[in-house]
Chain A
């Protein structure tokens, strides 16, 4: 019962916030609505027992993708009114796309009605997961045993991405003053200060 109720709550919020993504006038609001949609989609995933995908949605989509969107939208000063200006001109193209999408929907529903596609069955040796193991644990078990080498290599790919980004964008500019830790540490009080017996009325020497 509680599951049914939460399903309807999550599902209706997903649909409503997805509609708001389109209808919101302010692009920043659109992105915020998108984040709401992602959160509720994660709730739906928890309901069907896919905790891992739920966490992935929150961490990857909300934490990284949507926030990145937000940054892009806020940093690029896009005039959306200007973008919408060509609406009438682009109506035929938009209608054409709508027709194509509608046809795809009809085809998709037709294919669904026609019955399941015969997918391949895993060979006998494939690892079967017992229902008692939560799927995060099952994925972790595989990731750190069979796929450990691939997992580490994926780390190397990220390293390449990082090195690449630095190689292609980092510039040594001459105007900046970098920190030299060793000379900071080596500096003694007597290098930096001096004691002066200042006579009165003479003025100071800088």
Chain B
């Protein structure tokens, strides 16, 4: 009976597991079924998202499997975001992978499997479920990074990601073993109780290692070195996936660990989070300046944005967490939009282009694409009329309210540096002489997805604020 109750709480994961297995079987029976299986995988994600949304609507919070996982508003909100991001990266992929000769059925299957892992990550309340979820997600990601195996860069990206990801997992596990040893339990609640009493040196070591491992997974500085290489080498739809769904999952996981397990001793981890946030913001902004490749640029932009998101965590308040979730939601829309635009940069022979020189004067040849790109860039830079501004505003508000004024001031200053390279993209597109290499896009799916995401990032997005505000507030409450 207890097991039945627990199983009904992880319904989205179960739906996705069975769909992944069924799709794998279908792929074995039917050759060249990549597109069909992609569509079915999106349908499975939709079904899982529907269950998650209904659970989010009820707002209940219930532990499953004797405290290994929890089904609460925070987890459900993050899951919803993850499923949507994964569905978008499945939808935009087929044309690109077909061109690369790699549209195989394993792509959607691996994305669905990785979504199961991410669902476990965001609802984990035990170090064991944390690690299992994280590893399921990461292992699928390593394979996805080198999915186009005929391309040397893709293989290199997969290998780099695998080796460095293994190192990060090792650090995380080492930290987890120390925390288990000194707190006496793997459950977040019990670790929280143990930390209430006293925090010894061993426990602090454990916390530092766990935070380092997770900082790697969210590509926060100083553990960001892999990001530009992996983002550049991986196939663009996979990069879009990496920059959105797994990032949401890992950041949500970090929030839950920090607040539920280590929440009673804010001072122990607050400095670490502040340092990581500042380094990410500054390295993300400065590192992007010299980049010639647009995918590398987006990688640095994601490091930069993770820094801003972590400012919300550094506050350790409910307002800060709600602000982080708002920022995360907007960030997913911005970054997916940016990659959708990147994928439309095809020359007349159908080759994908991703250099700065290729988009020179894009506004003259492809005005709509250039406008959409400009919207995403302005939004990422956080320039007021666009929706990206709102995310930065709520995060800085939370930081000021929690008394972290210097952090907010440095963050704003660095976001001005960051604005430089976002604006450089716009300048190259609008004011440089036309290079005229980019042909008209023939992929209607990309055009529509890009259009919808651009509309969401335009001032129209502000209509979503009431709904977003209520949901993030409910989700943030679940952690306290």
Interface residues of A (CB under 8 A from B): 117-123, 125-126, 145-150, 152-154, 156-157, 159-161, 163-164, 166-168
Assuming the contacts A120-B181, A123-B184, asked whether A161 and B132 have C-beta atoms less than 8 A apart, the reply is no
Answer yes or no: B146 CB below 8 A from chain A CBs: yes
Instruction: Name which residue of chain A comes closest to B184, CB basis.
Output: A120
Q: 9 interchain pairs (CB within 8 A)? A: A120-B181, A146-B68, A147-B68, A149-B7, A153-B133, A159-B113, A163-B106, A164-B110, A166-B106
Task: Kindly state whether residue B139 has any CB partner on chain A within 8 Å.
Answer: yes
A65 CA / B106 CA spacing, docked (Å): 29
Taking a contact as CB atoms under 8 Å apart, the answer to whether B183 and A149 are in contact is no
A149: which B residues are within 8 A, CB to CB?
6-7, 10, 64-65, 68-69
When C-beta atoms are compared, the residue in chain B nearest to A153 turns out to be B132
Are A167 and B147 in contact (CB-based, < 8 A)?
yes
Contact of A168 with B24 in the complex, beta carbons under 8 Å: no
Taken together as a complex, chains A and B put the C-alpha atoms of A75 and B14 apart, in Å, by 42
Pair A167/B142 contact, Cβ less than 8 Å: no
A171 to chain B, nearest CB (A): 9
The smallest beta-carbon distance between B68 and chain A, in angstroms, is 7
Chain A contacts for B229, CB-based, 8 A: none
**How distant is the Cα of A113 from the Cα of B315 in the complex, in angstroms?**
43
Contacts of B17 in A (CB 8 A): 152, 156
Inter-subunit contact B185/A157 (CB<8 Å): no
Which of B106, B128, B135, B183 is in CB contact (< 8 Å) with A147?
B128
CB distance from A191 to the nearest CB of B (A): 26
> Would you call B116 and A156 a contact (CB within 8 A)?
yes
How many angstroms between the C-alpha atoms of A164 and B159 in the bound complex? 13
Given contacts A120-B182, A160-B110, A168-B149, 14 further A-B contacts (CB under 8 A): A119-B182, A120-B183, A120-B184, A121-B184, A123-B184, A145-B3, A148-B3, A148-B65, A156-B17, A156-B136, A160-B140, A163-B110, A164-B110, A167-B104
Minimum C-beta distance from A126 to chain B (A): 7
Q: What residues of A have a CB within 8 angstroms of the CB of B183 in the complex?
A: 120
Does the CB pair B6–A120 fall under 8 Å?
A: no
Indicate whether B193 reaches chain A with its CB closer than 8 angstroms: yes
Q: Is the CB of A120 within 8 A of B194?
A: yes
Within 8 A of A (CB), among B124-155: 128-129, 132-133, 135-136, 139-140, 142-143, 146-147, 149
Q: How far is the CB of A173 from chain B (nearest CB, A)?
A: 15
Note all chain A residues with C-beta closer than 8 A to B321.
none
Give B164-204 interface residues, CB cut-off 8 Å to A: 180-185, 190, 193-194, 200, 202
Asked if residues B184 and A167 are in contact (CB atoms below 8 Å), the reply is no
Does the CB pair A117–B120 fall under 8 Å? no
Known contacts: A153-B120, A156-B116. The answer to whether A126 contacts B66 by CB under 8 A is no
A contact patch SS:
helix
Partner of B139, one of A121, A123, A145, A164: A164
Interface residues on B, range: 35 or more
CB distance from B298 to the nearest CB of A (A): 25
Judge whether B132 and A150 touch: CB under 8 Å.
Answer: yes
Q: CB-CB < 8 A to A154: which residues of B?
A: 132
B109 at the interface (CB under 8 A from A): yes
Complex Cα gap A76–B68 (Å) = 44
B140: chain A residues at CB < 8 Å are: 160, 164
Chain B residues in 8 Å Cβ range of A120: 180-185, 194
Of A149, A161, A163, A166, most B-chain CB atoms within 10 Å: A149
CA distance A153 to B113 in the complex (A): 10
A residues near B109, Cβ cutoff 8 Å: 163
Q: How would residues 69 to 99 of chain B score, 1 for a CB under 8 Å from any chain A CB and 0 otherwise?
A: 1000000000000000000000000000000
Nearest residue (CB) in B for A159 is B113
A159 to B106, CA, bound (A): 12
- Distance in angstroms from A41 CB to nearest chain B CB is 21
Considering the complex, give the chain A residue whose CB is closest to the CB of B140.
A160
What chain A residues lie within 8 Å of B68 (beta carbons)?
146-147, 149-150
Residues of B within 8 Å of A126, CB to CB, are: 184-185, 190
Residue of B nearest to A119 (CB): B181
Residues on A with beta carbons closer than 8 Å to the beta carbon of B181: 119-120
CB under 8 Å from chain A, chain B span 43-71: 64-66, 68-69
Taking the closest CB of chain B, its distance from the CB of A168, in whole angstroms, is 6
**Distance in Å: Cβ of B352 to nearest Cβ of chain A:** 21
Q: Which of A117, A119, A123, A164 has the most CB of B within 10 A?
A: A164
- Minimum Cβ distance to chain B for residue A86 (Å): 26
A151 closest partner in B (C-beta): B132
Sort A-B residue pairs by CB-CB distance and give the 4 closest, nearest first: A120-B184, A164-B143, A120-B183, A146-B66
Give complex CA distance A148, B129 in Å: 11
For A121, the closest partner residue in chain B by CB is: B184
Nearest A-chain residue to B128, judged by Cβ: A150
Task: Report yes or no: B136 in contact with A160, Cβ–Cβ below 8 A.
Answer: yes
Q: A168 CA to B161 CA in the complex, in Å? A: 15
Q: How far is the CA of A188 from the CA of B181 in the complex (A)?
A: 70
- Complex CA gap A191/B10 in Å reads 56
- Taking CB atoms, residues of chain B closer than 8 Å to A145 are 3
